[in-house]
Structure 1
């Protein structure tokens, strides 16, 4: 059954399942709790934002440079070029490639989940 023929509840369960599957894939690829906990500067949240923002949207962010000045930087530069290996957003246009857009949103949600897990471990005193 295609997603368009599923009920809203079925689509919701499909979406949650896709995110959970992607998160498991990330962990199997080596992005474990220990790895995630090393990203204390919220790089996971920035990575999630990168995937979730549509490619047409300005992806510059405003950061504090430790002083009183705010600096506008590219999200990609802020997180670091190595974090974007194998990521292409060149054709992330829902009108042209809906499946690519869905894949990027799933990846962003899974990275957001990793960030949430990291924050919850911090709250619990786990790291």
Structure 2
């Protein structure tokens, strides 16, 4: 593994919007390379950490990971949200969760579940798949199996509720992305009356 040199996003790169809205996808693409470098930096931190004598290695690496995830989460917050974080909001866990969902979504795409393929699901199958994983996270495996829209052998919930939450959230993101692409297509076609 080779260390990655990461230059954090500067305030000159991201211009805050006065209304605090989220950045557009095109703006997000510009920062994708920096996000990838940041996530790789976390992996490098894990690899290069040297645990002091007498300290539990798993706990040590876990603490380093939490610190690194918090740094990346704060960076992602800067990238995704144009505006100040309201006082009293604990971003240490909020944006850490977002990082895990983004990583899962990217993993789904890398495994061949393409955005183009997602657009072929016209009956909200991705929403149903997300619901199935979320139901498993809540302990409702039997109900989840009835909601799952694909073949039964493709439904592979984890015994870990947290993992199912991440999978479900990433599938929900896939559905939202597909809907957004559909809206963009409608708007570009000039049929703005059908935008929901």
Does TM, scored on the shorter chain, surpass 0.5? Answer: yes
Query: Of 8, 29, 33, which aligns to 2:111?
Result: 29
* Count, aligned residues: 100
Inter-CA distance 22–8: structure 2 relative to 1 (3 Å threshold) = same
Q: Distance in 2 between matches of 1:88 and 1:104?
A: 6
Q: What TM-score do the two structures reach when normalised by structure 1? A: 0.67
Tell me how far 1:81 sits from its aligned partner.
1.6
Question: Please, which of 90, 107, 110 is the counterpart of residue 170 of structure 2?
Answer: 110
* Residue 87 (1) aligns with residue 187 (2): no
Q: Distance in 1 between matches of 2:129 and 2:139?
A: 14
Of 28, 53, 74, the residue aligned with 2:146 is: 74
Q: Which residue of the other structure, out of 49, 62, 65, is the alignment partner of 2:131? A: 49
Aligned partner of 1:59 in structure 2 is: 143
Alignment partners' CA distance in 1, 2:142 and 2:119: 28
Tell me, what secondary structure is at the counterpart of 2:140?
coil
1:11-30 CA-to-partner distances (Å, cap 9, x unmatched) read 11110000000000000000
Aligned-residue offset at 1:57:
7.0
Structure 1 runs (4+) greater than 4 angstroms displaced: none
The answer as to whether partners of 2:126 and 2:174 remain within 8 angstroms in 1 is yes
1:55 positional shift = 2.6
Q: Which has the larger radius of gyration?
A: 2
CA-based RMSD = 2.6
**Distance apart, 1:75 and its partner CA:** 1.0
Q: Which residue of 2 aligns with 1:13?
A: 95
Q: Distance in 2 between matches of 1:118 and 1:10?
A: 29
- Structure 1 residue 80, shift from structure 2 partner: 2.6
Q: Which residues of structure 1 form unaligned runs of 5+?
A: 61-72, 92-99
Aligned-residue offset at 1:35: 0.9
| Residue 48 of structure 1, CA deviation | 0.3
Residue 41 of structure 1: how far off its partner (Å): 1.0
Give me the whole-angstrom Cα distance separating, in 2, the residues matched to 1:58 and 1:86. Answer: 12
